[in-house]
Amino acid sequence: MAFVLSEDQQMIRDTAMSFARDELPVSHLRDLRDGGANGVDPASRAKLAELGFFGVLIDEAYGGVGMGMVAMGQIMEAQGRTLAATPLLQTAVLGASLLSLGGSEALKTEWLPKIAAGEVTLALALDEGTHHAPLNVSTEAERNGQGYTLNGAKRFVPDGHHADVFIIVARSFGDAGQAHGLSLFLVPNDAEGLTVQALNTVDSHGAAHLSLDGVAVSEAQLIGAPDAGWEVLEPALDRGRIALAAEALGSSQAAFEMTLEYLQTRKQFGQLIGSFQSLQHRAAQMFTSLEMTRSCVAAALAAADDGSNSLAELASLTKAKATELVHLVSNETVQMHGGIGMTDAHDSGLYMKRARVQEALLGGASFHRDRYAKLNGF
């Protein structure tokens, strides 16, 4: 397990960090929000594509650079630092992983090069309730002759409001709660019967509710075997969870640095507030949590590349730790900044708003504690 980056990985980290700092600072998200863009940002998207970030997980044979999750994690961490709204998680991590792991040769040849080139935005549409529950899928896929008809609804799909193509998880067999019977379908955004309801979300990244009313899909649009979509979905979700944890780590680190700087400049009672022991101890505890989460993220990213059989365990560990971290740090950021932290003009609030979305997507701490216990046999 490598805890130290290779030269190539370090280079992509440096590139991603300076890109986020120079091109996608927090003020950029603020501008998007104030301009009503709802997280849709084609210009930045094009620049990310130019840097090759969409093809990091895609094999060279399909037009990607095949650098793997450790490299992808650096990019996610960088975008987390500045809260950048990008389609990388949905398109370059989840979409690319699902297609790479389960796509037919025809699907891979058609879609992976487009993803790698940054020509297409994908969105995995999985959850149907208000909490992440990947097996609780009731959206129905009814077989009819050459294909399937989809009926159901999906909630809070990230990037759903501007995705070109959806990967819809539907039930072709059995009942909600069962792993067997899930199937994954590639559905274009203009499919007949598909309605996309754009959502204005608290983090200004946007999302969408979907409703599927008799959407017809052909067998060729299936990712993975029919009824056995879980075999593809679960490892892809774990990659997504780790990538999102890396993003949350970046947000936590940046919010922590901002807070630390404030502690070292703000004076009250004739003292730097950072000289008060109650704040020093809380800062030291946050730092300890940051360091421990960083270890989990690094180990999980490496495990994804090594094909480790403890990927599920490490993914849940990492998402739980990153969720707790970003929750703690974002709250403390507001509290330690005091009144200024409550104002819209200050960035504290933006970190806290994005934190809650990072926490909820792909499972919060309680979801992953439950999964970790199950994986450990209790």
Partner 1 sequence: MPFDAPEELDGFREQVRGWLEENCPASMRTPMSDDEVVWGGTRETFKNPDSKIWLERMGEKGWTAPEWPAEYGGGGLTKAQSQVLSQEMRRIKARPPLFSFGLWMFGPALLEFGNHEQKARYIPDIVMGKTRWCQGYSEPGAGSDLAGLQTKCEDKGDHWLINGQKVWTSYADQADWIFCLVRTDTNVKHDGISFLVFDMQSEGVEARPIKLISGSSPFCETFFTDVQVPKDQLVGELNKGWTIAKRLLQFERSSISAGGFGGTGGSGILPPQEYAKQHVGLDESGRVQDGDMRARISDHLMYSKAFGLTVQRMTAEAKAGQEVGHTASILKYAAAKMNQEKCELLVEALGTDGLGWDGDGFAEDAKKATRGWLRSKGNSIEGGTSEVNLNVIAKRVLGLKEHQ
175 scored as a contact of partner 1 (CB under 8 A): no
Number of CB atoms found within 10 A of residue 47's CB:
16
Burial of 266 (0-12, 13-18, 19+ CB in 10 A): middle
7 scored as a contact of partner 1 (CB under 8 A): no
Q: Convert residues 314-333 into a mask of x (bound to partner 1 by CB under 8 A) and - (unbound).
A: --xx--xx------------
Q: Convert residues 359-378 into a mask of x (bound to partner 1 by CB under 8 A) and - (unbound).
A: -------x--xx-xxx-xxx
Scanning 41-49, 76-84, 103-111, 295-303 for contacts with partner 1 by CB under 8 A, the matching segment is 295-303
Measured from the CB atom, is 172 or 289 closer to partner 1?
A: 289
144 scored as a contact of partner 1 (CB under 8 A): no
**Residue 315: CB minimum distance to partner 1, A:** 12
61 scored as a contact of partner 1 (CB under 8 A): no
Q: Which of 109, 175, 281, 338 binds partner 1 (CB under 8 A)?
A: 281
Q: How many residues does the chain have?
A: 378
Task: Report the distance separating Cα 148 and Cα 9, nearest Å.
Answer: 42
288 scored as a contact of partner 1 (CB under 8 A): yes
28 scored as a contact of partner 1 (CB under 8 A): no
- Alpha-carbon distance values, 175 to 81, 360, 363 (Å): 41, 24, 21
280 scored as a contact of partner 1 (CB under 8 A): yes
Q: Is 112 left (phi over 0), alpha (psi -120 to 50) or beta?
A: alpha
Burial 107-141 (b: 16+ CB within 10 A, else e): bbeebbbbbbbbebbbbbbbbbeeebebbbbebeb
Q: Which residue in the block uniquely carries the two structure tokens 């019967």? A: 193
Scanning 186-194, 210-218, 256-264, 330-338 for contacts with partner 1 by CB under 8 A, the matching segment is 256-264
Of 39, 330, 371, the closest CA to residue 207 belongs to 39
Contacts with partner 1 by CB under 8 A lie at 1-4, 260, 263-264, 270-272, 274-277, 280-281, 283-285, 287-288, 291-296, 298-299, 316-317, 320-321, 366, 369-370, 372-374, 376-378
